[in-house]
């Protein structure tokens, strides 16, 4: 039987620079040079993996010799190549603008901030999705926070959030315009909506991301989030489906800057759905925007208490210090689990993510699950009796001492001087109780 010879044919003129072949080659025979793939034929083993992944059909394996020549030739187009071609149909970074009767959730502007970087890395447009009724003002704001384009469906049926019409509207837009990435807030609405859309579109969704980046070789979205109880950070990739969907908690990303008067291209669509087709009815709407409820994610000053308080009564002292600073009371999970304070005060992985100007941690050890929720604070002051407590590793200023001596002293100082300035390091802190102060 004649010996068969396999030859790799490479047409560099067709190369689009996607670099999929580079990652697939098992012997590192392909490299990117000046934006195009270059093959080292001395190293190549003619396995044909590049043929399978190349969306531009640059590669071909030719089998010569023997009667079975034709039968042995591998098909040039296979599932992997088809997949790559299918993924290449998707383009653009989209951000869902979450609003309730015209009040936009600030996480939307934070996502436009993060989305801008992703879109620039991918070399594509950043777009906003605005769904609701009387959305002119929200649409203008989307442009001012950086959306190049805004897809708008403005209908009475979308006046209040309901899963079915909102999911239908998003799915319709995504199927028509094929974005590569869709971002939503990890809020009650965003979590509900993102899950419904991803399920319907059979695509991947990563919840509660703390970091988003682009793999320049594959264009995949690198979605980082805490895993295994926050002990490791996992980076998740949606390799085979589009769009790639992710939710991000409020205050994890910095907001996009607002540029007054910045215009956005408006693409108006409609929705083929009537009220009688929606089984869920909104019977009343309560506007919470100005309520006294705990709003930790958007508090500028937070004073948090931990197990070091020794009992629920300790939170009275925390509340007193919070009041002296004009701040909000936060808590560690240990105190919430012990029933000393309600869950809406909890900061951390299973509580709120916060990003205040000043975070005061009192009797909190600094477990990773607490740190992930507050380490984005501008300034952190830690009060702990243990000089080796982990919280001091992230603290801007540390006070080693008994919180029951330190906090009353801080409250006393607040009655005489601007305590906020002192804790932000803008004025000297001199304690009279003899507690040791540690400046970073
Ligand atoms: C899946 C998972 C999710 C979690 N999510 C969260 C979360 O969202 N948020 C969160 O906070 N935790 C979370 N945890 C729990 C976390 O691991 C810690 O158990 C918790 O943060 C500890 O709380 P603490 O710092 O108040 O208590 P401790 O770790 O017991 O620390 C108490 C601190 O108080 C100090 N202290 C004691 N007495 C005094 C005193 N008189 N004066 C000054 N200091 C004093 C001690 O030195 C100590 O450092 C989670 C855990 C898991 C497994």
pLDDT, tens digit, 9 for 90 and up, residues 184-234: 999 989 999 999 999 999 999 999 999 999 999 889 999 999 887 667 889
For the cut 50, the answer to whether the pLDDT of residue 379 exceeds it is: yes
pLDDT, tens digit, 9 for 90 and up, residues 55-89: 999 999 988 875 555 555 555 556 777 888 899 99
Please, what is the angle between helix 188-201 and helix 163-177, to 10°? Answer: 50
pLDDT at site 79: 73
Specify the pTM.
Answer: 0.65
Determine the Cα–Cα distance for residues 379 and 319; give it in Å rounded to an integer.
19
CB-based contact 423:395 (threshold 8 Å)? no
**388 alpha carbon to ligand 1 midpoint, in Å?**
14
Taking the CA of residue 368 as reference, the ligand 1 atom at the shortest distance is 17
Residue nearest to atom 30 of ligand 1 (CA): 307
Mean pLDDT across 28-37: 91
Name residues contacting ligand 1 (CB within 6 A).
229-230, 306-308, 332-335, 346-351, 363-365, 367, 369-370, 373, 383-386, 389, 402-404
**83 alpha carbon to ligand 1 midpoint, in Å?**
47
Residue nearest to atom 9 of ligand 1 (CA): 348
Task: Residue 296: name the closest of 373, 207, 375, 398 by CA.
Answer: 373
pLDDT, tens digit, 9 for 90 and up, residues 86-112: 999 999 999 999 999 999 999 999 999
pLDDT, tens digit, 9 for 90 and up, residues 251-264: 889 999 999 999 99
**374 alpha carbon to ligand 1 midpoint, in Å?**
13
pLDDT, tens digit, 9 for 90 and up, residues 405-427: 999 999 999 988 888 888 887 77
- Which residues does 205 contact at the CB level (< 8 Å), separation at least 6? 194, 195, 198, 245, 246, 247
CB-based contact 333:348 (threshold 8 Å)? yes
- Best residue among 349, 360, 375, 380 to mutate for probing ligand 1, ranked by most atoms within 8 Å of CB: 349
Domain architecture of the chain: domains with CATH: 5-86 (3.30.70.20), 93-277 (3.40.50.620), 296-439 (3.40.50.1220)
**363 alpha carbon to ligand 1 midpoint, in Å?**
8
Determine the Cα–Cα distance for residues 330 and 342; give it in Å rounded to an integer.
10
Question: How far separated are the first and last CA of the chain, in Å rounded?
Answer: 78
């Amino acid at each position: 039987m004649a010996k068969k010879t396999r030859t790799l044919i490479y047409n560099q003129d067709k190369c689009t620079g996607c670099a999929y072949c580079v990652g697939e080659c098992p012997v590192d025979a392909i490299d990117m040079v000046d934006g195009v793939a270059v093959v080292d034929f001395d190293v190549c083993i003619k396995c044909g993996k590049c043929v399978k992944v190349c969306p531009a059909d640059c590669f071909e394996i030719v089998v010569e010799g023997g009667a079975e020549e034709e039968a042995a030739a591998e098909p040039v187009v296979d599932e992997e190549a088809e997949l790559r071609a299918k993924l290449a149909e998707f383009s653009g970074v989209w951000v869902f603008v979450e609003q309730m009767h015209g009040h936009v959730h600030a996480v939307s502007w934070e996502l436009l901030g993060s989305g801008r970087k992703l879109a620039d890395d991918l070399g594509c447009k950043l777009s906003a999705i605005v769904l609701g009724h009387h959305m002119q003002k929200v649409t203008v704001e989307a442009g001012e926070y950086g959306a190049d384009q805004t897809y708008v469906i403005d209908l009475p049926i979308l006046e209040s959030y309901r899963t079915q019409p909102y999911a239908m509207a998003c799915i319709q837009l995504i199927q028509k315009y094929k974005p590569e990435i869709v971002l939503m807030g990890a809020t009650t609405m965003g979590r509900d909506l993102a899950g419904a859309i991803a399920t319907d579109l059979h695509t991947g969704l990563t919840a509660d991301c703390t970091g988003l980046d682009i793999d320049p070789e594959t264009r995949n979205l690198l979605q980082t989030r805490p895993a295994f109880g926050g002990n490791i950070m996992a980076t998740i990739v949606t390799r085979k489906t589009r769009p790639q969907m992710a939710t991000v908690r409020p205050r994890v990303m910095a907001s996009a800057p607002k540029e007054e008067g910045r215009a956005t291209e408006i693409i108006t669509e409609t929705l083929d759905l009537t009220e009688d087709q929606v089984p869920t009815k909104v019977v009343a709407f309560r506007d919470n925007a100005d309520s006294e409820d705990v709003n930790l994610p958007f508090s500028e000053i937070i004073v948090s208490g931990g197990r070091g308080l020794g009992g629920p009564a300790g939170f009275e002292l925390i509340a007193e210090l919070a009041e002296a600073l004009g701040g909000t009371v936060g808590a560690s999970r240990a105190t919430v689990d012990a029933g000393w304070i309600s869950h809406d005060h909890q900061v951390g992985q299973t509580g709120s993510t916060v990003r205040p100007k000043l975070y005061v941690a009192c009797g909190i050890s600094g477990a990773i699950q607490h740190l992930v929720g507050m380490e984005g604070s501008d300034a952190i002051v830690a009060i702990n009796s243990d000089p080796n407590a982990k919280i001091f590793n992230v603290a801007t200023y540390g006070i080693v001492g008994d919180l029951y001596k330190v906090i009353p002293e801080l409250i006393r100082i607040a009655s005489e001087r601007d305590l906020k300035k002192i804790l932000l390091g803008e004025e000297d802190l001199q304690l009279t109780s003899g507690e040791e102060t540690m400046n970073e």
